[in-house]
Amino acid sequence: MKIGVDYYPEHWDKNLWEKDAKDMKEAGVEIVRMAEFAWSRLEPEEGIYCFEWLDEIVELFARKQIQVFLSTPTCTPPLWLFEKYPEVIQVDKNGRRIPIGIRGHRCMNSPIYREKCEKIIRQMVSRYADNEWVIGYQIDNELEANHCCCPICEEKFRLFIKNKYQTVDKVNEAYGNSVWSGEYSSFSQVKPPFGEHQTWLNPSYMLDFNRYASESTVEYVNFQRELIHSIDEKALITTNTWLCENMPDFYKMFEKLDFVSFDNYPATKLPENEEVLYSHAFHLDLMRGIKKKNFWIMEELSGSLGSWTPMQSTLQPGMLEGYSLQAIAHGADAVLHFRWRTAVTGAEMFWHGLIDQSNVKGRRYQEFCKLCHTVKEWKEIEGSIIKNHIAILYSSEQEYGFKVQPQVEGMHYFTQMKAYHDAFTCLGIGVDVIDWLSDLSGYDIVVAPTLFVTNDKIEANLKEYARQGGTLVLTNRSGIKDEYNRCIMSPLPTVFSELTGAVVKEYNPIGKKTQKIEMSDKIWKGKPFTCTLWCDVIEPNQAEVLACYGEDFYQGEAAITVNHYGSGKVYYAGTVLNRKGMAVLVEFIVKDLGMEYIQGIPFGVERTVRQKESGQYVFWFNNTEKKQDFVSWKVQEGKTPVTERAILEPFEMAIIKEIK
């Protein structure tokens, strides 16, 4: 477990390096990431390499026993390269080469670009292969799925479609191209989605394009990975991912990499509305679930965000340390802060680092030093892992499906995943967010929200899980599409109706409105809750009704049901409950299984557990701006509740060791 920083020696006068390294050592920094944008300094002219400055700074850190994680600088090719080979510049959806001067503006598929990448990567990796302080490489920087529309990418996309379908007739059938005379008569007519009117394009074709775009990035990652490994077999290799508009398929992108790393920028201003789920805990669990193992934070929030947007609130006292420890509590084994010092030149001025532009060490820096100290004190946590019994299923298919066809205002793919994640968090229960096609056998509860795009594999996976005794939660907007993103012509949730023992009679996309919902007495005797975004009016044929709508023309009709399937149970929630309603529903599901959980946890307080053979570490995090003084109690059927009092300052993390 270590704390580190992201450092840009090429941005600073050389006479600052020695002092910076000394200060880092004193603060407790154990690792530094460098060079992801430094191509023009490493190869100022084609074939002329200047690594001496990097050697010098690597050496400086080595002398201080600080490890170095280098990055391949391929996100920002130098201007000479674009000038000499303009064909490596990305082409946008309007068919134009995009203006250079920013970053990430190269075409990953360009053979010339690949050739130049290979050369610079070879120089870098072979230079440090024997240096024990250079422990690994970050591939490129924050890669998105490749949406370049240049002639090379156009051909690649065409080939992807050709390989998938073999004949144009099969494509036409899969896409339903008889609509609007969209039938292909030759593969030459297959092109990337050009033009401004992307939402008017055929959703089946758009889903395939998104799949291709992801695959294209995965192929680029593997190109770099293989190259690095062919030179230095022992190097650790990762890439720093983030949550962006065009996300690649995380499971495929990281499949061959050593570990996942994530750029973690939690909100500095917490929403006033309690219904807004802001916690980054969900994102952290998503990251850990990609490889089902601990991960790294390659960039961690260190100050106000700014640069290309107006600045956001500064970090409240406790936030800097609290958010880093929150990442560790969810399985991070290293947290590197972005960035050591705030930039004083260039595009990223005002995206604040640990030290302000004045170069005077202030409040955030002191808190960072405290964090380094805390992590050193808890070194024994190293080697511990997280084992949960609840899983939420994620898939890129849904991510792309919803992006192509948003279902109603305010509803995003993450909406329900976050809502269920939050409800389990309220009960002090840890959750894994994992690939939808994973082996589910070890989980007591599996929540599979909004399975909009389906296929035979997921249908079989879920049926098998429930048949074997699993508790499955399905939700609205499931079973809508087949694998070609065509609507399935049978009552919703179509392929899952056998599991749910109920069908959807009709639905009302209510968007940001809220409506009343009443739980059955079995779950909750009292006031109604509210629901939002979507209302499926359910007709049970075999399932039991757990909640009904409390207003509108479908008042009294079923909103949530449960069905016995095999030896398991299948819940179907046709709507999205408010936060309290969700907590009540989830508590009912957990209680029904006789699982242990905790009552009395205030909203915004999170409990996570990392385990080791010798015992476990319980993390209590106050992710709110208020001091929390509360009594919680562990409950489990047939056992006497165990109560515990906790007092936590805003953003404070308490770590408790429990020996087995």
Between residues 53 and 242, which has the closer beta carbon with respect to ligand GAL?
A: 242
**What 3-state DSSP class applies to 627?**
coil
- 131, 222, 304, 307: which one binds ligand GAL (CB under 6 A): 307
Q: What is the closest distance, in whole angstroms, from the C-beta atom of residue 418 to ligand GAL in the complex? A: 21
Q: What is the closest distance, in whole angstroms, from the C-beta atom of residue 135 to ligand GAL in the complex? A: 20
615, 600 in Cβ contact below 8 A? no
Bridge partners (DSSP) of residue 335 are 3, 297
Residue ranges in 169-188 that form contacts with ligand GAL under rule CB under 6 A: none
CA 604 → CA 310, 328, 391, distances in Å? 27, 17, 20
Amino acid letter for position 613: E
562, 546 in Cβ contact below 8 A? yes
Size of the site for ligand GAL (CB under 6 A): 9
Q: What is the closest distance, in whole angstroms, from the C-beta atom of residue 442 to ligand GAL in the complex? A: 34
Task: Give the number of C-alpha atoms closer than 13 A to the C-alpha of residue 315, restricted to the C-beta side.
Answer: 31
589, 547 in Cβ contact below 8 A? no
Between residues 4 and 600, which has the closer beta carbon with respect to ligand GAL?
A: 4
Report the alpha-carbon distance of residue 9 to residue 68 in Å, rounded. 13
Residue carrying the six token digits 């074709």: 205
Q: What is the per-residue binding string for ligand GAL in 136-155, x denoting contact by CB under 6 A? A: -----xx-------------
- 299, 300, 356, 482: which one binds ligand GAL (CB under 6 A): 299
The answer to whether 338 contacts ligand GAL (rule: CB under 6 A) is yes
Residue ranges in 350-379 that form contacts with ligand GAL under rule CB under 6 A: 351
Helix (H) or strand (E) holding 620: strand 615-622
Phi, psi of 325 (to 5 degrees): -70, -30
Between residues 141 and 454, which has the closer beta carbon with respect to ligand GAL?
A: 141
Between residues 299 and 482, which has the closer beta carbon with respect to ligand GAL?
A: 299
User: For residues 345-378, b (16+ Cβ closer than 10 Å) or e, as one string?
Assistant: eeebebbbbbbbeeeebeebbebbbebbebbeee
Between residues 160 and 262, which has the closer beta carbon with respect to ligand GAL?
A: 262
Report the alpha-carbon distance of residue 514 to residue 596 in Å, rounded. 32
Ranges of H-type helices in 525-605 = 579-592
Q: In the β-sheet with 628-635, what is the strand arrangement from edge to edge? A: 597-599, 628-635, 642-648
480, 541 in Cβ contact below 8 A? no
Report the alpha-carbon distance of residue 175 to residue 473 in Å, rounded. 30
Q: Which of 30, 36, 215, 299 is catalytic?
A: 299
Preceding peptide of 491 cis, ω within 30°: no
Q: Which of 10, 87, 142, 183 is catalytic?
A: 142
Q: What is the closest distance, in whole angstroms, from the C-beta atom of residue 348 to ligand GAL in the complex? A: 5
- 215, 348, 399, 536: which one binds ligand GAL (CB under 6 A): 348
Which tokens hold the place of 569? 């149970």
Q: What is the closest distance, in whole angstroms, from the C-beta atom of residue 244 to ligand GAL in the complex? A: 9
Between residues 302 and 476, which has the closer beta carbon with respect to ligand GAL?
A: 302
Residue ranges in 254-293 that form contacts with ligand GAL under rule CB under 6 A: 263
Between residues 141 and 622, which has the closer beta carbon with respect to ligand GAL?
A: 141
Say how many C-beta atoms besides its own lie within 10 A of residue 430's C-beta: 21
Q: What is the closest distance, in whole angstroms, from the C-beta atom of residue 400 to ligand GAL in the complex? A: 22
Report the alpha-carbon distance of residue 178 to residue 496 in Å, rounded. 29
Residue ranges in 520-549 that form contacts with ligand GAL under rule CB under 6 A: none
193, 147 in Cβ contact below 8 A? no
Between residues 49 and 242, which has the closer beta carbon with respect to ligand GAL?
A: 242
Report the alpha-carbon distance of residue 93 to residue 106 in Å, rounded. 14
C-alpha closest to that of 325 among 651, 656, 659, 658: 651
Q: What is the closest distance, in whole angstroms, from the C-beta atom of residue 12 to ligand GAL in the complex? A: 16
Between residues 299 and 587, which has the closer beta carbon with respect to ligand GAL?
A: 299
Between residues 353 and 449, which has the closer beta carbon with respect to ligand GAL?
A: 353
Identify whether 59 is a catalytic site residue: no
Q: What is the closest distance, in whole angstroms, from the C-beta atom of residue 561 to ligand GAL in the complex? A: 42
Vertex 62: Cα angle to 60 and 67 (nearest 5): 120
Q: What is the closest distance, in whole angstroms, from the C-beta atom of residue 261 to ligand GAL in the complex? A: 11
626, 590 in Cβ contact below 8 A? no
Q: Give the list of residues 6+ apart from residue 599 with CB closer than 8 angstroms, or none.
A: 427, 632, 633, 635, 641
Q: What is the closest distance, in whole angstroms, from the C-beta atom of residue 297 to ligand GAL in the complex? A: 12
Phi, psi of 321 (to 5 degrees): -70, -45
Residue ranges in 597-656 that form contacts with ligand GAL under rule CB under 6 A: none
Identify whether 142 is a catalytic site residue: yes
Q: What is the per-residue binding string for ligand GAL in 10-49, x denoting contact by CB under 6 A? A: ----------------------------------------
C-alpha closest to that of 462 among 484, 503, 494, 495: 495
Residue carrying the six token digits 């002219």: 45
Q: What is the closest distance, in whole angstroms, from the C-beta atom of residue 253 to ligand GAL in the complex? A: 16
Q: What is the per-residue binding string for ligand GAL in 216-255, x denoting contact by CB under 6 A? A: --------------------------x-------------
Between residues 67 and 241, which has the closer beta carbon with respect to ligand GAL?
A: 241
Contacting positions for ligand GAL (CB under 6 A) = 141-142, 242, 263, 299, 307, 338, 348, 351
Q: Could you list the active site residues?
A: 142, 299
